[in-house]
Amino acid sequence: MSGFTVPWNEPSRVPLPKHLYVHVPLCRSKCTYCDFFSRADDGSVSHAELVEGTLESLRGWLTPEVRRVPLDTLYIGGGTPTVLGEDLVTLVRELTAILPLAEGAEVTVEANPESLSTELLAGLAEFGVTRVSIGVQSLDDAALALLGRCHDSGAALAAIRDAVSAGLDVSADLIAGIPGVPAESWAESLEAVIAAGAAHVSVYPLTIEAGTPMAEAIAAGQTAAPDEDSVVDAMDAAATLLSGNGFTRYEVANYALPGHESRHNAAYWTGWPYLGIGGGAHGMLSGDQARALGLVPEAELGVARVRYSYAAEPFPMRASTPLTTFETLTVPEALREDAMLGMRMTQGIAAELAELAGVNRALESLVVDGLVVREGGRWRPTERGWLFGNEVFGRIWGAVE
Ligand code: SF4
């Protein structure tokens, strides 16, 4: 080959992240427990406008100073991206025309049962989507009503089966510790999502966020608050049942059959930069990327990492939607952050990273408390460490040796 190089493949340019997160902040209606940034899709927002604003925003990152690289993972989350219907297929098609997918790329779309049709699944699969993450939450219809979900258990199971039939890898989200859900019903929910074909299951405890309708109903005595012991029991029961069915708990809340772990989420937990676009989305860039993009001055060589988020307004986002939060991390801070995030995963962190990050003493104190173990050249969280995750993360982040 001659020395020919296309403009976006100029080796001296800083490469953009190979992971892209796209936020679609629309849902059919708002669930009672939700404090994520999303709005009800009441017809006041044009889907086409939302798609165009998102694409314009992505194009805005493609300055001459950066080199586009094929995407290893693309994750379209929300909100409920599938409320966009066919416009979601357009979004996937156009995003991957701007930033093409690498061979074997993982492309995930978050979905809810009420907006997932077989036609939409086929369209998504045709344009490179490999995985859907379906918000099942529970297969107990009374619990679904309490959560304000706009689907029932039958629709949730049908969505999993349809996605599997479309050739997609399926992840199911479930919520542990919903008041009024008996242990047998919880076990049945887990068994049913596995039987329907989910190869990945995320289990989150029900948390009550201030300002949500559920928090208000609890404060008014209209709804029972989640009982802490029941939440822990439900999380434990999920761990036992899923591991009995061949799933590995690879992260505190995530279980997968072998080879079905989320590569996109693993990138977050192992310190890979990712571009985040969409109203309210977060992103993380290396210092070199941030300098090439002019987000920090060239002279600020001490900046190792930049975390940013987009403003929620205007809605939907435009090309000009500003970044609002903007946090810079030094090299020692970025290393401590890597150590902290890595402890969310079963594999923990390599001894070399702990050494570099200067967190050995903090980890040793966590070993004494039974929250961490050291084995095979790695530091790993124990079950108890996951249960007291804030203690583990706080001590690692606060460590200065
Ligand atoms: S579907 Fe998800 S993002 Fe939308 S309101 Fe419900 S919990 Fe929130």
Q: Where are the alpha helices (DSSP H) in 197-330?
A: 213-219, 228-244, 263-269, 287-292
> In sequence order, which residues have a C-beta less than 8 Å from that of residue 147 and are 6 or more positions away?
31, 32, 33, 137, 138, 175, 178, 214
3-state secondary structure of 175: strand
Beta bridge pairs of residue 345: 251
Both tokens of residue 347? 């594999």
Task: Kindly give the number of the ligand 1 atom that is closest to the alpha carbon of 112.
Answer: 1
Task: Kindly give the number of the ligand 1 atom that is closest to the alpha carbon of 30.
Answer: 5
Q: Cα(397)–Cα(401) distance, rounded to whole angstroms?
A: 11
Q: Is 4's pLDDT higher than 60?
A: no
pLDDT of residue 16: 95
User: How many whole angstroms from 78 Cα to the centroid of ligand 1?
Assistant: 8
Helix (H) or strand (E) run with residue 146 in it: helix 141-147
φ/ψ bin of 205: left (φ > 0), alpha (ψ from -120 to 50), beta (otherwise): beta
Q: Is 22's pLDDT higher than 70?
A: yes
pLDDT of residue 1: 41
- Residues 65-84 have pLDDT tens digits of 899 999 999 999 999 999 99
Share of the chain above pLDDT 90, in %: 92
Please state which of the ranges 28-32, 244-248, 269-273, 396-400 shows the lowest mean pLDDT. 396-400
Q: Is 2's pLDDT higher than 80?
A: no
pLDDT of residue 133: 98
Q: What's phi and psi for 253, nearest 5 deg?
A: -115, 5
Q: Is 178's pLDDT higher than 70?
A: yes
* Cα 92 to the center of its chain, rounded Å: 17
User: How many whole angstroms from 350 Cα to the centroid of ligand 1?
Assistant: 36
Task: Kindly give the number of the ligand 1 atom that is closest to the alpha carbon of 110.
Answer: 2
Taking only Cα atoms into account, the Rg of the chain, rounded to an integer number of angstroms, comes to 22
User: How many whole angstroms from 84 Cα to the centroid of ligand 1?
Assistant: 14
Q: Which residues line ligand 1 (CB under 6 A)?
A: 27, 30-31, 34, 36, 38, 78-80, 112, 135
Residue showing tokens 């998504």: 124
Q: Cα(98)–Cα(109) distance, rounded to whole angstroms?
A: 18
Q: Is 201's pLDDT higher than 60?
A: yes
pLDDT of residue 270: 94
Q: Is 152's pLDDT higher than 70?
A: yes
How much is the average pLDDT of 300-310? Answer: 94
Both tokens of residue 55? 């694409």
pLDDT of residue 9: 60
Q: Residue 184 — very low, low, confident or very high, per pLDDT cuts 50/70/90? A: very high
Q: Cα(177)–Cα(207) distance, rounded to whole angstroms?
A: 9
pLDDT of residue 238: 97
Q: Is 359's pLDDT higher than 90?
A: yes
Task: Give the residue whose CA is nearest to atom 5 of ligand 1.
Answer: 30
pTM as predicted: 0.95
Q: Cα(178)–Cα(173) distance, rounded to whole angstroms?
A: 14
Q: Residue 320 — very low, low, confident or very high, per pLDDT cuts 50/70/90? A: confident
